[in-house]
């Protein structure tokens, strides 16, 4: 995308990088610089993809050449998007279809392929639209810089690092390694999410098993007065489902509150945007329901197998 990549200095993760647009204009004024391409990075979630990368670029930016079109054209309006071939396959969409992301609807005007997995699983919108999504109207994530003479790239890197204390410039090959690290981080995040779901299922199962032990005599009484095994099974599953749905409501409220508080913090507001859509909450409740049913299956089966006589003797 350029000989040199500029991002925020001393930022914990490259996805948190934020630079004022004034830095773009000042770097463009350096005599050795040929072109500058500001880029805004945004991550959003969707039911189909836990991490959808949106890049914001000026349609006339030289960096656009990196996104080689398979079909269509580049974006011209804020309501348009070009998406990677992987994303098109995942969402099952094509040219002129509408893609809904975080409650925003975009018309697909192009499909690109870069050969980089996480890029081909994302999309590109107009830079102003990406800034709006991130709540950062006058800042960019990175600046891709092309120099007149590639042999002077190291010299320009040193100049930028010296002149702009808030920025860190590096040769683009070094930046590519950082993007690989980011891709690894995204993979680890997905693994953590799966682990959290597994732990959640175990906790639900354990909670329901303890409940069955404590209510053994009650279940025995119900069996003695005529409750069938199927009814006991359904009752325990219903309780497990209710427990998880209540937890989903509480978790959603806490999540919204925490994200809103973080987004209002002076420093974090540059990096965190308190935006969500109905899809996120629907996914959360469906996940909770599935966990409730799966986590309650064994306890429900165990409860349905209790013999009335044995259950009534249980102390």
Closest CA relative to residue 205, chosen from 246, 232, 239: 239
Residue 194 lies in a domain: no
Angle at 151 between CA 145 and CA 153, to 5 degrees: 30
Q: Given 181, 202, 228, which residue is the final one in a domain?
A: 181
Q: Is residue 204 part of a domain?
A: no
Q: Is there a domain that residue 207 lies in? A: no
Average pLDDT, the chain: 83
**Domain match, 113 and 51 both:** yes
Asked whether residue 276 falls in the same domain as residue 170, the answer is: no
User: Based on the domain organization, do 99 and 142 belong to the same domain?
Assistant: yes
Least confident of 97-101, 163-167, 222-226: 222-226
Asked if the structure places residue 247 within a domain, the reply is yes
Domain check: are 43 and 147 in the same one? yes
Of the candidates 68, 81, 164, the residue with the CA atom closest to the CA atom of residue 112? 68
Query: Quick one: pLDDT at residue 270?
Result: 47
Number of Cβ within a 10 Å radius of residue 6: 27
Q: What domain count does the chain have?
A: 2
Q: Which of 161, 181, 201 is the last residue of a domain?
A: 181
Domain membership flag for residue 129: yes
Residue 92 shares a structural domain with residue 151: yes
Q: Give the best-scoring range by mean pLDDT among 73-87, 256-270, 296-310.
A: 73-87
pTM for the model stands at: 0.57
Domain co-membership, 10 together with 150: yes
- Range of 297's domain? 215-313
pLDDT at 158: 92
Higher pLDDT, 130 or 183: 130
Tens digits of per-residue pLDDT, 80-131? 999 999 999 988 999 999 998 877 899 999 999 988 877 888 999 999 999 8
pLDDT of residue 193 exceeding 80: no
d(CA 270, CA 18): 7
H or E stretch covering 229: helix 229-264
Q: 150: which residues sit within 8 A by CB, 6+ positions away? A: 3
Same structural domain, 160 and 246: no
Residue 308 has pLDDT above 80, yes or no: no
């Amino acid at each position: 995308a350029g000989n040199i990549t500029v991002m925020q200095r001393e930022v914990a993760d490259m996805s948190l990088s934020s630079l004022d647009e004034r830095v773009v204009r000042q770097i463009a004024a350096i005599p050795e610089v040929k072109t500058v391409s500001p880029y805004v990075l945004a991550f959003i979630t969707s039911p189909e993809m836990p991490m959808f990368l949106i890049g914001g670029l000026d349609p006339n930016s030289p960096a656009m050449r990196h996104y080689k079109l398979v079909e269509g054209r580049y974006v011209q309006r804020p309501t348009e998007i070009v998406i990677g071939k992987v994303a098109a396959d995942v969402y099952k969409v094509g040219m002129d279809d509408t893609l809904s992301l975080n409650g925003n609807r975009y018309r697909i005007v192009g499909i690109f392929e870069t050969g980089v997995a996480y890029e081909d699983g994302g999309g590109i919108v107009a830079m102003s639209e990406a800034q709006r999504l991130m709540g950062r109207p006058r800042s960019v994530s990175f600046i891709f810089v092309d120099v007149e003479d590639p042999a002077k790239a190291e010299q320009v890197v040193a100049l930028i690092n010296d002149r702009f204390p808030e920025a860190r410039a590096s040769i683009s090959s070094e930046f590519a390694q950082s993007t690989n690290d980011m891709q690894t981080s995204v993979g680890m995040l997905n693994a953590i999410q799966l682990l959290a779901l597994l732990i959640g299922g175990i906790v639900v199962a354990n909670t329901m098993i303890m409940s069955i032990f404590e209510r053994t005599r009650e279940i025995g009484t119900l069996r003695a007065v005529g409750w069938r095994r199927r009814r006991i099974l359904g009752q325990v599953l219903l309780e497990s489902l209710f427990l998880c749905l209540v937890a989903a409501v509480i978790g959603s409220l806490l999540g919204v509150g925490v994200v809103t508080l973080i987004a209002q913090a002076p420093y974090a507001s540059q990096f965190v945007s308190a935006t969500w859509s109905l899809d996120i909450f629907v996914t959360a409740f469906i996940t909770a329901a599935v966990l409730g049913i799966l986590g309650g299956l064994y306890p429900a089966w165990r409860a349905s197998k209790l013999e009335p006589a044995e259950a009534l003797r249980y102390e």
